[in-house]
Amino acid sequence: MNFELYSFWRTSATFRVRVALNLKGLQAVEHDVDLVAGQQRSADFLAINPMGAIPALIDKRPGQSPAPLTQSTAILEFLEEAYPAPALLPVDLHERARVRSLCAMLTADTHPLMPPRVKKYLTSVSGFDEAAWRAWQTHWLTTGLTAFEQRISTDRASADYCHGSQVGMADICLASVVMIARVFKLDLPAMPTVDAVMQRCDQLPAFARAAPHLQQGAPKL
Amino acid sequence: MNFELYSFWRTSATFRVRVALNLKGLQAVEHDVDLVAGQQRSADFLAINPMGAIPALIDKRPGQSPAPLTQSTAILEFLEEAYPAPALLPVDLHERARVRSLCAMLTADTHPLMPPRVKKYLTSVSGFDEAAWRAWQTHWLTTGLTAFEQRISTDRASADYCHGSQVGMADICLASVVMIARVFKLDLPAMPTVDAVMQRCDQLPAFARAAPHLQQGAPKL
């Protein structure tokens, strides 16, 4: 086993890493860090990742640094560089930039607005109740995914998947954000192109096996 | 002139691209898109970038697609791939992952919480006044930059710059976020390592020439 992955069952960023490992045929021992119980601030976990954040990927291959690889987008790029096949990015530089740009619409423009620490601020400082929080989540998921839908539905570079006919990094990022709406049962407007891509992803074992409710620590359905 | 850059003077994400172009010795014709006046939603600009977002970099080199390159992190990676020297990322795969992880702490964990559209939601929907907005900005800049300070001050991989003794992608991202505190005159706690890196960056012409108040459309100081 070449990798250890510190994760939490429903964390969107961990999901990205899990899918990328699966797509590349890599196996990782996964360790559950219960964010609800605050385990990310435990001495045990801080000894592994002093930043107290997941996902944290440990490279156990001989001769590699024990320092954790952190931040999902950096880990995806690392896996792509360390294990180029199957590729998650196209070869052409403009196409690579397009895929990374699609990823950033989700991992930078959308997802960072809704982690637990943002909920904590809005509920404890700004007086958000549960309905206001769900409206916030719904607003930013709708904003981000509607823009994404517009982009992939109007650009012929998108086909079966977000870029062309091969699954890749943008699909991973898309699924990781759609997952948030699923986990929290949020109603989003119709997005036919996004839905079609997601249906294809859902059928791939690499995505299906990464589903939140199948992971360690997930509540029984 | 090989590139055209659609930009707004004080936009942190545009600043990143401007510095990377400067560091690589590339020149771009810059076009001001006045976000305050809503020019990003004008028909003229939507014809260039249908997503209505800046930065948008047009590659004018012969034979290249006229589609805009968008999202600052994707553009930085593109420039690094298209113009490898001087390098903005190290060679070693773990080190590359470290730099990208440092970047993501800023471009994903921190900056996305404070663009104009987030201010608009919080002031128009959530009742934030100017003080509450400034407290929000200050809180997330403090959270992000304090974590960043902890990381670069405790890891020997950081030296004169965020990674080693050569300026790179993490320094660009750091400067782009510190810039927000400067533009809006926000008080942040002391961060000696961040400050030392920033002092070095400020002295580099590539950063100095990219400063917001020197750009088209900036108010006179």
For residues A89-105, one letter each, b for 16 or more C-beta atoms within 10 angstroms of the residue's C-beta and e for the rest, the string is bbeebebbbbbbbbbbb
**B50/A151 touch (CB, cutoff 8 Å), yes or no:** yes
Mean pLDDT of the region A71-94? 98
Contact B59 A151 (CB under 8 A): no
Which whole number is the average pLDDT over A194-209? 98
Q: Indicate if ipTM > 0.90.
A: yes
Chain A residue numbers with beta carbons less than 8 Å from the beta carbon of B117 are 143
Q: Is the pLDDT of residue A113 over 80?
A: yes
**What are the beta bridge partners of residue B58?**
B4
CB contact under 8 A, A98 and B51: no
The mean pLDDT value of chain A amounts to 96
User: From CA A161, how far away is CA A168, in angstroms rounded?
Assistant: 8
Q: What is the pLDDT of residue B139?
A: 98
Query: Tell me, what's the pLDDT at B156?
Result: 87
As a whole-number percent, the residues of chain A with pLDDT over 90 amount to: 94
Q: Stretch A155-171: mean pLDDT, rounded? A: 95
Give strand ranges (E) for chain A.
3-7, 28-32, 56-59, 69-70
Compute φ and ψ for A152, nearest 5 degrees.
-75, -20
Contacts with A111 from chain B: Cβ below 8 Å: 108
Residues of chain B with pLDDT under 70: 221
Residue with tokens 């950096």: A74
Share of chain A above pLDDT 70, in %: 100
- Checking if the pLDDT of A27 tops 90, the result is yes
Contact at CB, B67 and A94, closer than 8 angstroms:
yes
Kindly determine whether residue B74 and residue A136, on different chains, have CB atoms separated by under 8 Å: no
Query: Which residues of chain B lie closer than 8 angstroms to A125, CB-CB?
Result: 135, 139
Query: Looking at per-residue confidence, does B50 or A118 come out higher?
Result: A118
If you measure CA to CA, which chain A residue comes closest to B64? A94
Residues 6+ apart with CB under 8 A from A143: A110, B117
Distance CA(A175)–CA(B135), nearest Å, equals 33
Q: List chain B residues with CB under 8 Å of A65.
A: 94
Q: Walk across the sheet containing B69-70 and list its strands.
A: B28-32, B3-7, B56-59, B69-70
Contact B73 A147 (CB under 8 A): no
Residues in chain A closer than 8 A to B126 (CB atoms): 122, 126, 128, 132
Q: Is the pLDDT of residue A197 over 80?
A: yes
pLDDT reading at A5 higher than 90 = yes
| Dihedral sign from CA coordinates of B27, B29, B34, B35 | negative
- The band of A96, judged by pLDDT with boundaries at 50, 70 and 90, is very high
Check residue B1 and give its pLDDT.
Answer: 82
Q: Is the pLDDT of residue A91 over 80?
A: yes
d(CA B62, CA A107): 32
**Which tokens is A185 given?**
């049962």
CB contact under 8 A, B73 and A143: no
Q: Verify whether the Cβ–Cβ distance B100 to A70 is below 8 Å.
A: no
Residue A54: what pLDDT? 95
**Nearest to residue A120, comparing CAs of A136, A144, A105?**
A136
Residue B68: cis peptide before it, omega within 30 degrees of 0: no
- From B78, B117, B122, residue closest to A93, measured CB to CB: B78
Please judge whether B108 and A147 are an interchain contact, meaning their C-beta atoms are less than 8 angstroms apart.
no
**How is chain B classified by DSSP, letter by letter?**
--EEEEE-TT-HHHHHHHHHHHHTT--EEEEE--TTTTGGGSHHHHHH-TT--S-EEEE-STT---SPEESHHHHHHHHHHH--SS-SS-SSHHHHHHHHHHHHHHHTTTGGGSSHHHHHHHHHTS---HHHHHHHHHHHHHHHHHHHHHHHHH-TTBSSSSSBTS--HHHHHHHHHHHHHHHTT------HHHHHHHHHHHTSHHHHTT-GGGSTTPPP-
Place of tokens 């891509």: A197
- The answer to whether A151 contacts B51, with C-beta atoms less than 8 Å apart, is yes
Q: Mutation test of the interface with chain B: which of A100, A152, A163, choosing the one with the most B Cβ atoms within 10 A?
A: A100
Q: What gap in Å lies between CA A194 and CA A192, rounded to an integer?
A: 6
- Whether the Cβ atoms of residue B10 and residue B212 lie closer than 8 Å to each other: yes
- The residue of chain A with its CA nearest to that of B109 is A112
Other CB atoms within 10 A of residue B13 CB: 26
How would you classify residue A90: left for phi > 0, otherwise alpha for psi between -120 and 50, otherwise beta? beta
Residue partners of A187: CB distance under 8 A and separation at least 6: A138
Confidence category of residue A220, pLDDT binned at 50, 70, 90: confident
Among all residues of chain A, which has the CA nearest to that of B100? A74
Are the beta carbons of B175 and B167 closer than 8 angstroms?
no
Query: What pLDDT, on the 0 to 100 scale, is given for residue A61?
Result: 96
Q: Nearest CB to A71: which of B59, B93, B101?
A: B101
pTM over 0.95: yes
Return the number of CB contacts < 8 Å for A and B: 123
Nearest to A112 among B93, B109, B125 (CB): B109
A7-20, pLDDT tens digit by residue? 999 999 999 999 99
Q: Cβ A51–B139 below 8 Å, yes or no?
A: no
pLDDT computed for residue A156 by the predictor? 87
What three-state secondary structure class fits A57? strand
Residues of chain B found within 8 Å of residue A75, distances taken between Cβ atoms: 97, 101
User: What average pLDDT does range A105-133 have in this prediction?
Assistant: 97
**What sign does the dihedral B15-B20-B23-B27 (CA atoms) show?**
negative
| pLDDT for res B75 | 98
Nearest to A94 by CA among B21, B61, B31, B91: B61
Contact between chains at A94 and B150 (C-beta distance less than 8 A)? no
Angle at A192 between CA A188 and CA A193, to 5 degrees: 115
Q: What pLDDT is attached to residue B140?
A: 97
Say how far apart CA A205 and CA A86 lie, in whole Å.
15
